[in-house]
Structure 1
Amino acid sequence: MTDQAFVTLTTNDAYAKGALVLGSSLKQHRTTRRLAVLTTPQVSDSMRKVLETVFDEVIMVDVLDSGDSAHLTLMKRPELGVTLTKLHCWSLTQYSKCVFMDADTLVLANIDDLFEREELSAAPDPGWPDCFNSGVFVYQPSVETYNQLLHLASEQGSFDGGDQGLLNTFFSNWATTDIKKHLPFIYNLSSISIYSYLPAFKAFGANAKVVHFLGRVKPWNYTYDPKTKSVKSESHDPTMTHPEFLNLWWDIFTTNILPLLQQFGLVKDTCSYLNVLSDLVYTLAFSCGFCRKEDVSGAISHLSLREIPATAQPFVSSEERKERWEQGQADYMGADSFDNIKRKLDTYLQ
């Protein structure tokens, strides 16, 4: 159907990898809807060309240069930059109905049935079930709704600093009005929930249709070995309780996306290659002396998409860390790692 679409957003080349895997997974499960992606100027031209091979429509959104009320709202509330970009999905009035999906989601089965739902349909947030999680939601593009959202953003901002708080305020009756607008959790299965409620995952996880890689560590932050088709396990990482979703993400990436990146010059046929792409470092160590284009995924013996370490980590207050914990976004790989928590407890027990 040409008047309905799955929509996602990428604000840099890192999240573009996620968007590409998401788009590929939708096609893999034979969606009949169009695929659209919103991009910002931070996405490189080469990456935008790759996106055009997977998505039917690649739409540039530049809030800073829009000259409309979105620009004025950004000037008033600069902290809502990414949120205001995401709100542009309501301006896609060429479509009668859309399903928005964050770029860190992965489709496990055909989900075209979501288009039978009404606006605003979404799954409960694992951190506060009376709120919906804005990683997957059904909506109807509307200039009127878009302008109302911008007005709310300008006047009230967002209680969580992001799009989820703003959208829950706007669609404040979601929790109580119509149960049909509550998507089953299998349409937005939080990877963190697998760890926090393992018995439920064992009972219902096999029916999952969409997995959402919530939290700071994303699939592209892991190291993957195509020979074993598995990611490298990180100690005390809760998502590794059931790594099959991470492995599936990487399998799609190496099979479908990596050849496209190579085709457009983002990955080269070399035996050892370091190339800075936006805020990522690709490390490709090939197991053979040469490799053909069509064998690139099989020839890689070690593949890692690692973020360049910052020279200085931004300060995060205790209150902010507490909020992140409550939202299921603990920094398991850094400040909130098991070793750091144990070290802190030891200081009190001495």
Structure 2
Amino acid sequence: LAQAFVTLATNDSYARGAMVLGKSLRNHKTSKKLVVLIGPHVSDQARAVLHKIFDEVRLVDVLDSGDTAHLAMMKRPDLGVTFTKLHCWTLTHYSKCVFMDADTLVVSNIDELFEREELSAAPDPGWPDCFNSGVFVFRPSNETYGKLLQYCTEHGSFDGGDQGILNDFFSDWATADINKHLPFIYNMSSIAIYTYLPAFKQYGANAKVVHFLGQMKPWSYTYNPTQRRVRGSSQPGLLLQWWALYSAEVLPMLIREYGDQPFNSGCEVRPKHTEQENNHPLVSSAERKQRWEQGQADYMGIDSFDNIQKKLDVFLK
């Protein structure tokens, strides 16, 4: 049986993260298969791009899956996303897998993780006796999947998510076998830079996986591709790596899929003047006024700040 890296995207934002993660694994020449589990809210365009990057794109909707998952979900609706993540244990056509959250980025080849056993993971920076469930090695098994669902329904999760459940279920991780403790370089949280700067300076260059923990995800920022700057971030180094990969390799694929349909690229785009001038005759001033009144100003083109500034300058002179 083959082995695979597995990630999860429940919506289009996380799908972008998954695309960047998949590309980063490919760019670092993984020999393993790539699998992404997606929720029903992922758009057709995002699915099409995922199909180009991943070997397998599997739609997992807890409410449509087998009876056990359905019953578990009825009892614990609060754990919806968690149940979706636990689906990774049903990938029994693979002998061993490494799960990676969609907000991780690979910065070198990590195929050696497949030498580890279930459940191997790195310590959580917030509570090192717990492992962080952003990166873990596991063996797909319908039996384990069933037991995890049952455990979920009976005990819930102490943190409301999958990390609490997995730590309770694989409760001997902290004490039983040091080989199941992945070095922090396989799941280095971007927060670690603040919490232990000397260690980051000493070991950070060896990091193999960066995990963008916290509420602000890489795709929550705005990126200026011409200046290669991430807006509003005090720690741009790692974020820049994410954005460089996204804008160079993922965004062109998304643009092809969306065609003329507008979508939020996350990049600040300044159209060339020639395009703006060509666009001017297409909209009459009456139409333009009507659009403004309806709140549909063309901020990227004719109604851009630069153009308004020019009009004001002319008027004020």
TM range (shorter): 0.7 to 0.9
Please state whether the residue corresponding to 1:36 is helix, strand or coil.
strand
Once residues 265 and 231 of structure 2 are traced to their aligned partners in structure 1, the CA distance between those partners, rounded to angstroms, is 17
**Mapping of 1:153-172 within 5 angstroms?**
153-172=152-171
Q: Which residue of 1 aligns with 2:242?
A: 249
Please state whether the residue corresponding to 1:137 is helix, strand or coil.
strand
Report the CA distance between 1:283 and its aligned residue: 6.2
Once residues 18 and 6 of structure 1 are traced to their aligned partners in structure 2, the CA distance between those partners, rounded to angstroms, is 14
Q: Which residue of 1 aligns with 2:296?
A: none
Report the CA distance between 1:65 and its aligned residue: 1.6
Once residues 38 and 86 of structure 1 are traced to their aligned partners in structure 2, the CA distance between those partners, rounded to angstroms, is 8
Once residues 290 and 155 of structure 1 are traced to their aligned partners in structure 2, the CA distance between those partners, rounded to angstroms, is 64
**Mapping of 1:114-129 within 5 angstroms?**
114-129=113-128
Once residues 268 and 211 of structure 2 are traced to their aligned partners in structure 1, the CA distance between those partners, rounded to angstroms, is 27
Report the CA distance between 1:46 and its aligned residue: 1.6
In percent, how many aligned pairs have the same letter?
63
Q: Which residue of 1 aligns with 2:28?
A: 29
Q: Which residue of 2 aligns with 1:84?
A: 83
**Mapping of 1:175-194 within 5 angstroms?**
175-194=174-193
Q: Which residue of 2 aligns with 1:341?
A: none
Report the CA distance between 1:285 and its aligned residue: 2.6
Report the CA distance between 1:221 and its aligned residue: 0.9
Deviations 1:231-279 (A, max 9, x none): 1234xxxxx2x421100000000010001001111x64xxxx9x35xxx
Q: Which residue of 1 aligns with 2:270?
A: 286
Q: Does 1:144 align with 2:128?
A: no
Asked whether the equivalents of residues 230 and 236 of structure 2 are also in contact (C-alpha less than 8 Å), the reply is yes
Please state whether the residue corresponding to 2:23 is helix, strand or coil.
helix
- State TM-score, norm by structure 1: 0.76
- The runs of at least 4 consecutive aligned structure 1 residues that moved more than 3 Å come to 280-284
Tell me: CA distance 1:290–1:72, structure 2 relative to 1, closer, same or farther (3 Å): farther
Once residues 255 and 109 of structure 2 are traced to their aligned partners in structure 1, the CA distance between those partners, rounded to angstroms, is 28
Once residues 86 and 166 of structure 1 are traced to their aligned partners in structure 2, the CA distance between those partners, rounded to angstroms, is 11
Report the CA distance between 1:290 and its aligned residue: 6.6
Q: Which amino acid aligns with 1:288?
A: K
**Between Structure 1 and Structure 2, which shows a larger proportion of helix residues?**
2
Question: Aligned-residue CA RMSD in angstroms?
Answer: 1.6
Asked whether the equivalents of residues 9 and 38 of structure 2 are also in contact (C-alpha less than 8 Å), the reply is yes
Deviations 1:213-241 (A, max 9, x none): 0000000111111122221234xxxxx2x
Q: Does 1:263 align with 2:256?
A: yes
Q: Which amino acid aligns with 1:263?
A: R
Q: Which residue of 2 aligns with 1:134?
A: 133
Please state whether the residue corresponding to 1:6 is helix, strand or coil.
strand
Unaligned 5+ segments in structure 1 are 235-239, 292-350
- State TM-score, norm by structure 2: 0.84
Report the CA distance between 1:143 and its aligned residue: 0.5
Once residues 185 and 56 of structure 2 are traced to their aligned partners in structure 1, the CA distance between those partners, rounded to angstroms, is 27
Once residues 216 and 97 of structure 1 are traced to their aligned partners in structure 2, the CA distance between those partners, rounded to angstroms, is 30
Q: Which amino acid aligns with 2:130?
A: C
Tell me: CA distance 1:104–1:199, structure 2 relative to 1, closer, same or farther (3 Å): same
**Which protein shows a greater Rg?**
2
Report the CA distance between 1:281 and its aligned residue: 7.1
Q: Which amino acid aligns with 1:102?
A: D
Please state whether the residue corresponding to 2:250 is helix, strand or coil.
helix
